[in-house]
Amino acid sequence: MKFLLKITFLLFFVNIFSQTKEINQEKIIHKVEGFILSKNIDSAKVYYGQLKKTDYVNILERIIKEGDVTYSDYKIFTVKVSERPSNKYSIISSFIDKHVKEPENVKKINLDYVDIKWRQISNLVGDAITLEESSLKQNNLELYISKFNEKDIDVLRVKTKITTHSIVMRQIQENVEEGKDLCLKGIDVAKKINDIELQSIFLYHLSDFLILERKLQEYIDVSEESLALSNELDEKSSYHYSNIIHLIDAYIYKGGYEKRLKSLLKELYENENTKIFSYHLFSKFISTLSKDSFSKKEILNQFNVKNTLELVSKFKRLGKDLIPNDYFRLLDESANALHAQGFFKEAMSYKTDGVILTRSIYSKDLSETLSNYKTNQAIKVKEKEIAFQNEKIALYGLISFLLIIFLLISLYILGKIRKQSKELTEKNILINKSLKEKELLVREVHHRVKNNFQIVSSLLELQSKNIEDEKALELAKEGKNRVKSMALIHQKLYQNKSGLVDFDEYIELLVKELSSLYKSDNKIETEIISKNMEFDVDTAIPLGLIINEIITNSYKYAFNENKESLLSISINKQDNANFKLVIKDNGPGISSDFDIKKAKSLGLRLVNRLVKQLHGTLSLSNENGARFEILFKDLHARQLIE
């Protein structure tokens, strides 16, 4: 008996030791992955030496040593690191751009390469700032696939698969009819070639359009069908777990499906890569349950807590590594759960934490935008200093050359000039080093500003997610448009080396964005008259918001009649220090007794305030429609007045 007890204890400790080694192995793998992505190869080599040899560890070794790395190696690595919630995809995308080049062999299509690029495009298209980048990568991928025979079933499969980019673009534009048609065509091809994974993917995208149509039951049915197909696969894709999240949200909203909900939550929680995303869904589910619910007790027991307050506190601690967007959602759902379970004071505290998080993100966005601008100005000053120093060096060199040839100056003077030249060269090296550091800082700040604009847009999207009131939804939608308008100004600012915003191209892009957002059955002819109009950022942001508000007003109210619709935008320099912006349409116009300075709508109040900020004047008249005329001054003219 004693012998059996000793054996049992020995096996227990061996098991504990084995599990500890596995945990340490996984932690070190995460560190090595991070060092590879951050290009810190020396550190990666140090930690790699502590790892036990496995197939995946061998892949890491080949990537670290840049040996015979295959496309399959890169695929496995990029999929693994993409599943880690702590990894930013922008860093993974940069790694792909640097290491995963288009295959030179055009005799047979490389499926691993296509899959890597397809995943990259799918991850980038969700970001409004990287939408253009993802579309460019999509075009390059389509060109690569077009080199091969479509009769090859592998070529047909990937050609069909990459249409998901077009589907997501239709979803962004809320073009339901075309989006659903592309999904159904993809499902048809997938069935013909008997590809279960492909069927599951296109069903998933089809469900996105059903929710836009507010067809909840069809959305649930299609999502369940997609999930059932993905369950037949040996390896579960990210679509599988995204489907689970969609279904959990839908069943909670509909109510009465506790057994199915618990099953889906269990699967999401038991996967290490998706566990962290289950916490806000547990909170959301708890908020729908009664205080003495059996399901509630099961959840509390599962997490070894006594009540809802302890549960959400644990979730808050476990979810600390979430990105701000997802962490805000966790705080919000936790507050709702606390309120539903009677913890009113604590619920208010969680709501306050969410508001503080939102404000900190917004404040960070504004401060980093300002820092970005100031850094850009500093670089311009530094460039002038460098140019001046280079001119001085050239001048001294010329003087030295002429003196040597024609005057035969003494060795003492020659040595002194050489010493001065050496000192200037050293100063120039220091200045160039400083300039490179500043350029690196500008790129980093620019990247952060892009991310913060995305976060603000995402937060607005989250806030409008459960709003049913049409007026409130419209306000949220207008808010998102204003953020996009500022993001577009920011993008144009850094595309122009002069530090000015090219308004000719900006207006065209803004009109294109708004026309896709406010689709109409009527054809709208747009006339843009702008030539060589460039403005500083302090003028461009308010001016861009003014144009956004007035054009939005035209799309909402001017083009409802069954006649050819016209929209005209012109901007030009006047003889004095003023610029003139004129926006007009051929709609029904605005009531003659309407005083724009006393307008109650948020959009027109914003226009009045922004015009005042530009030291301008605003006039409104009816000339076969509404005509807005704005005279304003650029930053230089405003500074002279001030």
Asked if the model's pLDDT at residue 388 lies above 80, the reply is no
Of the candidates 199, 196, 172, 194, the one whose C-alpha atom is nearest the C-alpha of residue 183 is 199
**How much is the average pLDDT of 185-212?**
91
> What's the start-to-end Cα distance of the chain, in Å?
95
> Is position 433 within any domain?
no
> Of 568, 559, 454, nearest to 511 (Cα)?
568
**In the prediction, which pLDDT does 582 show?**
93
The least confident of 36-45, 343-352, 365-374 is: 365-374
What average pLDDT does this structure show over 55-62?
87
* Percentage, residues of the chain above pLDDT 70: 77
CA distances from 10 to 1, 13, 17, 152, 215 (A): 14, 5, 11, 58, 58
Strand (E) or helix (H) holding 557:
helix 537-557
By CB atoms closer than 10 A (0-12, 13-18, 19+), residue 624 is: exposed
Residue 112 has pLDDT above 70, yes or no: yes
Query: Band of the pLDDT at 473, cuts 50, 70, 90?
Result: low
- Give the model's pLDDT for residue 468: 66
φ/ψ region of 311 (left if φ > 0, alpha if ψ in -120 to 50, else beta) reads alpha
Distance of alpha carbon 218 from alpha carbon 223, whole angstroms: 8
Please give the structure tokens belonging to residue 278.
Answer: 């289950």
570 - beta bridge partners?
Answer: 529, 582
DSSP state of 591: -
C-alpha to C-alpha distance for 282 and 337, rounded to whole angstroms: 9
User: Which residue, 332, 365, 398, sits at the end of a domain?
Assistant: 365
Higher per-residue confidence, 449 vs 569: 569
Among 42-51, 507-516, 554-563, the minimum mean pLDDT is found in 554-563
Lowest-pLDDT choice from 257-271, 423-437, 553-567: 423-437
Q: Which residue has the tokens 């839908």?
A: 250
- 270 Rama class: left (phi>0) / alpha (psi -120 to 50) / beta: alpha
Q: Where among 365, 381, 401 does a domain terminate? A: 365
CA distance 204 to 156: 20
Rounded CA gap, 352 and 333, in Å?
A: 13
Answer for the pair 445, 372: CB distance below 8 angstroms, yes or no: yes
Pair (357, 505) in one structural domain: no
Residue 101 region, left (φ>0) first, then alpha (ψ -120 to 50), else beta? Answer: beta
CB 358 within 8 A of CB 400: no
Residue 233 has pLDDT above 60, yes or no: yes
More confident residue, 469 or 80: 80
DSSP for 309-365, please give it. Answer: HHHHHHHHHHTTTS-HHHHHHHHHHHHHHHHHTT-HHHHHHHHHHHHHHHHHHHHHH
More confident residue, 53 or 360: 53
Q: Is the pLDDT of residue 301 over 80?
A: yes
Phi, psi dihedral angles at 237 (to 5 degrees): -90, 175
Give the mean pLDDT of the chain: 79
- Three-state secondary structure call for residue 627: strand
CA distances to 244, 251, 258, 358 from 262, in Å: 11, 11, 6, 31
- CATH no. for residue 334? 1.25.40.10
Q: What is the SS3 string spanning 209-274?
A: HHHHCCCHHHHHHHHHHHHHHHCCCCCCCHHHHHHHHHHHHHHHHHCCCHHHHHHHHHHHHHCCCC
Q: Tell me the backbone φ, ψ of residue 38, rounded to 5 degrees.
A: -90, 5
DSSP per residue, 423-471: HHHHHHHHHHHHHHHHHHHHHHHHHHHHHHHHHHHHHHHHHHHT---HH
Q: Is residue 34 part of a domain?
A: no
CATH number of the CATH domain containing 562: 3.30.565.10
- The pLDDT value given to residue 373: 40
The three state secondary structure string of 263-301 is HHHHHHHHCCCCHHHHHHHHHHHHCCCCCCCHHHHHHHH
> Is 630 within the bounds of a domain?
yes
Residue 365 pLDDT > 50: no
Residue 512, pLDDT above cutoff 50: yes
User: Reduced to 3 states, what is the DSSP secondary structure of residue 563?
Assistant: coil
For residue 536, what are the contacts with CB-CB under 8 A and spacing of at least 6? 499, 500, 501, 634, 635
**Which amino acid, 231?**
N
Q: And the tokens for 9?
A: 């204890």
Domain boundary among 365, 394, 418: 365
For residue 1, being part of any structural domain is answered with: no
Whether 54 is covered by a domain: the verdict is no
∠ CA 110-116-119 to the nearest 5 degrees?
A: 135
Give residue 182's pLDDT.
Answer: 92
Mean pLDDT over 275-292 rounds to 85
Instruction: Give residue 491's pLDDT.
Output: 67
Which tens digit of pLDDT belongs to each residue from 165-198?
889 888 888 898 999 999 999 999 999 999 999 9
Model pLDDT for residues 9-29, shown as the tens digit of each residue:
444 433 433 444 455 888 888
Is residue 5 over pLDDT 50? no
- What domain range is 266 assigned to? 105-365
Report pLDDT for 559. Answer: 78
Q: Is 409 helix (H, G, I), strand (E, B) or coil?
A: coil
The domain tally of the chain equals 2
Q: How confident is the model at residue 580 (pLDDT cuts 50, 70, 90)?
A: very high
- What percent of the chain is helix, strand and coil (3-state, nearest 5)? 70, 5, 20
Is 395 a domain residue? no
Residue 303 CB coordination number (10 Å): 14
Q: Which residues pair with 620 in a beta bridge?
A: 628
User: Which pLDDT score is estimated for 376?
Assistant: 45
CA-CA distance, 441 to 49, in Å (whole number)?
34
| Residue 626 and residue 589 in contact, taking contact as beta carbons nearer than 8 Å | yes
Whether the CB-CB separation of 483 and 460 falls below 8 Å is answered with: yes
**Which tokens hold the place of 495?**
């595309």
Contact assessment for residue 453 and residue 365, using Cβ atoms and an 8 Å cutoff: yes
Residue 13 falls within a domain, yes or no?
no
Domain membership of residue 466 (yes or no) is: no
- Is residue 587 within 8 A of residue 625, CB to CB? The reply is yes
